[in-house]
Structure 1
Amino acid sequence: MKRRITLSWLLMALICLPMFAQMQDPVRFKTEWKNLSANEAEIIFTGTMDQGWHVYSTDLQEGGPTSATFNIDKIEGAELVGKLTPIGKEIKQMDPIFEMEVKFFEGTAKFSQKVKLTGGDYLITGYLEFGACNDQNCLPPTSVDFSYKGTVAAAASATSAPAKTEEAAAPAESTETVDSTAAVTTAPQTLQEATDYWKPVIKELSNYGSTEEQESHSWIYIFFTGLVGGILALFTPCVWPIIPMTVSFFLKRTKDKKKGIRDAWTYGASIVVIYVALGLAITLIFGASALNALSTNAIFNILFFLMLVIFAASFFGAFEITLPSKWSNAVDSKAEATTGLLSIFLMAFTLSLVSFSCTGPIIGFLLVEVSTTGSVVAPAIGMLGFAIALALPFTLFAMFPSWLKSMPKSGGWMNVIKVVLGFLELAFALKFLSVADLAYGWRLLDRETFLALWIVIFALLGMYLLGKIKFPHDDNNNKVGVGRFFLALISLAFAVYMIPGLWGAPLKAVSAFAPPMQTQDFNLYKNEVHAKFTDFDAGMEYARQNNKPVMIDFTGYGCVNCRKMELAVWTDPKVSQMLNDDYVLITLYVDEKTKLPEPIKVTENGTERTLRTIGDKWSYLQRSKFGANAQPFYVLLDNEGMPLNKSYSYDEDIAKYVDFLQTGLKNYKK
């Protein structure tokens, strides 16, 4: 048992360690030339991706993620047949952010382009461009260069020398290096390395420290969410009265007080093992890919909405959700018939079954919430926090039995906690309905409708806490305690806070739950931040002439988290004031499709690459100068192109962002 506890804490320590690498290489493609006949071949692109990442397929709607496309730089002695074709299992689902159906691959992506050889020498050079994302960020549009050349007999005499043709037409596989004959039709320009603006500052940036990955924050958040859920479960009528009875049993069953305490520790550890096993079972049953899909799957979100509404009704007193009594009776009788550690473990399992009517809705909400984060280990982490909070009182009261006298007695206050939880479950249920509403385009739950429902829910919660509303299991006590009064005050104030949102106020506190601002039909609020420049060199030169620091915003048209940052953080008055007045804001779109006047050839990590679009150029700048390739990515620079602070990625904490900007200003003034 001690080993299990140690392993659980070791797992928790490992997953909470920050990850410092910023450069990401989650998708790797290779190309292959395959002869289909004497005068027909196909170019096959096969990509493998890390867990949690996906590559988008072909022919996505305009305004959505980056589609996979086949692009030609030069073609001689051949012509394309049809379009780029995706091969394999293509996943289709509605994306609530883009409000369109998207198609993508997970694990492996494969595309094919057929080519007809017209005879004689042939030369085909070009690139595959694709987009890749995970739940936290997206890569800029990425290209996979290829170059194939050879000789083939004319179609009329193809059958006369098939062996020679096939041998000549089978070049070595190429994934990155472009053949020297694959020159683009116009002479490429080169980047002016003489300018200090483009000088790499990866080492200087790292000296300020690395920004933690968002996923480590989400895991810590999930653990503490579970911890809070466990604390709330303690104060329900199904758990609180059991604590003194269970502790007294362990202390009285043996004359050895140390053994009684040891049994109580074992009992608490058994609770942890049971609930963590439940979290692991969720992952094993659904699988990693299914958990990743839950966040945007409309059907799952509708089911979650209905489940949370049922849980809320149960907490309000409409009915009780209980497991079959024969289950708990069978486990209880088995516990009495056995001895030792097995007996204690079965007693803990009995507690889990008996308290299900109170803990079930809390566990259900927790598992629903953490499953939609897309993290494979999230259910286990959430259950670890829940179980620790639930098990700790049994152990502490066994170690300090005198504390039992100071425990509040059971009473109507526990039902108040259940009803409050019911209101909260009802409010969070609307979040999942909102995802389904966006996916199907029903427009039933636009932002103002969502906010109106939340205003009503939290206003009713405040009225309940003041004793103006009664539910079936509430007592007739008309007195309102000081604690209930302050909770009512908070709930009513929160309802009033949301009212300006009906006219377009950003409402930072609920931006993670409410539908996006574009669903708002009536919006009087205008406080947007616009970049002064969308060209790096021009913006840096302007900053030098006006003696101002620079903030570089690496973003993308299809970057969802970039839009979230702009809505939730940049609209803050303090942030917008600094961005507009104190900094020269340069926004660089890494998926900008506008062609460069002339292609640019660069050497990166020993490999020659061709930059064809403005987006390619800014993506190369981000990689070569700052050693990063994910968006959003914010970096502060002085007039010489040197960093003023560590970089900043996706984190909607406004206080952190303000500190990020203020630290840059302070370092610039030095």
Structure 2
Amino acid sequence: MLDNKKVLSSLLLAVLLLLMPGRDCRAISEAGASSTGKAVNVRATWSVTAAHPGDQAVLAVVLQINKGFHVNADEQQIIPVEDLKLFPTKVAVTGADKGLNIEAPLYPSAVPLKVPFLAERVMSFKGKTIVYLPVRLEEALSAGGQVGLSLQVQYQPCSEEYCLLPEKIEIETSLPVVAPDMVVEKIHQELFVGYEPGLVPEVSKDIAFGMFGWTFSVDSSSQSGVVLLLIIAAFGGMLLNFTPCVLPLIPIKIISLSYAAKNRRQCILLGVSMSLGVLVFWIGLGILIALVSGFSATNQLFQYPLFTITVGLIIAIMAGGMFDFFSLQLPAFVYMIHPEQDTLKGSFGLGILAAVLSTPCTAPFMGAAAAWASTQPPASTLAVFAAIGIGMALPYFFLSVSPHLVSKMPKTGPASVLVKQVMGLLMLAAAAYFVGVGVEVLLSSPADPPGKLYWWPVMFFSFCAGGWTAWRTVQIASGKKAKYFFTGLGLAIMLISVLGVFRLTHTGPIDWIYYTPERLELAQEEGQTVVMVFTAEWCLNCKVLERGILDSAKIVKLLTDERVLPMKVDITGNNPEGKAKLKEVGSLTIPLLVVVDAKGNQVYKSDFYTANQLHKAVQGTLK
């Protein structure tokens, strides 16, 4: 009867906790633990009886999870859940004798688990779960002794209805070191069937997508899931056209199509040609990521300063076409990208350039799809990147088959000249941006903030575009509505340019610490929550999020709390440690924000987030 009362009290407690707002999976009572007994048994076993100096041995950390229970996945595979802090499974080395080189633990593939009180599935381990810890002995070790290792294994047992308190198990083990002529035997081989040297855990079949608090996942193991994934990737590619990176080229294409609007066949051919240029670039990028070792990110091209500067110079040349500078004696290839030429080669090149310019920006949903594709076999990688290309190319194809949408663009007279001149000035601003960023990449060094002086010429050309719009509108506009609208638009651009240059060159209200592994480790030793913002000078989306969200009064107050450390991981230049950290947190693209609590647990990750989401995630670590 006493046992029944305990079980009843545990169930009532679990129900009450589930009904409480802001559930925390770490908060559960000892009553639940006592009623169920030991949910997980942990042991560690070596792969060999002994090891020679210079050998590699593997330690298997075995979690025997009893029926009816599961534990959360490790940090890399866990999927964040709104309003719920998931305690990850972790195997950490707390002490080791000299002469041991210990690799990162290799976790098994997590499985998605549906629990009644959550809409999302939780990535979990069930049954016999084995974490492998590869250890290499140095050649200089002396035979005849032993080498010791201390581990801490942390996990949180959960059933489908409730979670027990997190547990941390300390393990100490040792391995004899024998002379090279001594025989070493393999033991417990049944535990090491799943281990291969250099083994990397299989990526979860569930792909998580999210944007500003709206999250969902796609199961890539089914055919319907793959189809849905390709549709989402295409939608993300289409959204790339509305990012700040691609906007400078859209006016050129509209002007180009407007000249061919009366000839439907020519208009369609130009649109198809540009669409093919976009598609060819994205397929080429997919081939690089699938087959070329070391190439792993869509924005990797802009980490090379000469490439960024070259892109800026090409945009400057195209801007020259807007001012009719092509009447001068310029190289023949330049004439292909003159908007009035209406050549298929020019449209194809414009498509490639538009796709190139899109790579510093990440559209919603596209980043998660590209990151998943980069870990898959070549066929899957190419399919996803082709879908991104198709999605990005669709608006240009749609404009080409609907010439009436661009036919009203002025093609002659003062209004036409004004449109081209203003677009030319704005493109010069874009050219100054890319050239300036390339120079900053050359001059910057890791862990130091890059310079921001290049924003002055960028905003100067933008200011000129606004001023010329207002001045010429007053002179040539005949209708009052058009005169007031475009004059006001020009004045607004001038005001935004003046305000923008001071805001973008200012360091901002937050005292950012720039990432190094040592600084992150020190923050965790001091018990601080770390808000890591992955950024780069060539990432315009990063600038938008920083100025619009991170510089808001609510977030500034939060990040100035002494218990919180705001940290930037800037990969503008050659920053291998920053790039490695980006990959470690499970992403290949920026912008990205990660919140790490004082214990080193990744509690929040998002590429498109709101101030309320960030505030809630950080406050949850300070309770």
TM-score range, shorter chain: 0.3 to 0.5
**Please, what TM-score do these two structures have when normalized by structure 1?**
0.43
* TM-score (norm. length: structure 2): 0.46
Where relative contact order (Cα < 8 A, 6+ residues apart) is larger, the structure is 1
